[in-house]
Amino acid sequence: MEKFFQGIISGISGVIFFAYGNDPINTLWLYILLSTIVLDMIFAILNAIIDGTFKRKILLIGLRTKLGEMVLIAIAHWLDMMNITQNSINLQKTVTGALVFYELLSLLAKIKVGGTPIPKILINTIQNWKDGKSNG
């Protein structure tokens, strides 16, 4: 069983290295994304346990979704390495930034469900952004 977990950790490390390389900025984005993913999963599990709706199948679907996000970043990195955009845009950082924003919105929704008060200005700003309205 120990070798199984070592194999999984090695595989994940390989995927992360492929997706992010040695660039310190990409590594910083990795830490931010992984932190938001972990917090999102923790709050999702806590909310499901409190509501009595926790199911292992739903957890596995969520984990597959998170793995899919990592694969998207790896594909973006691969496209950057092929120089498809001719250095006009960094696809990897763009995809990672979008995923961080998505995870933060998901985390905010899960915190709100848990009963934590969220400032109205933050909710209104996010709602305006989702609706495509600008304040300026």
For 13-48, write each residue's pLDDT tens digit.
666 666 566 666 777 887 888 889 889 888 888 888
The model's pTM is: 0.69
For 57-94, write each residue's pLDDT tens digit.
988 888 888 888 888 888 888 888 888 777 777 888 88
Contacts within 8 Å (CB) and 24+ apart, 93-100: 93/25, 93/26, 93/29, 96/26, 96/29, 96/30, 96/33, 97/29, 99/33, 99/69, 99/72, 99/73, 100/29, 100/32, 100/33, 100/36
Domain boundaries, the chain: 2-131
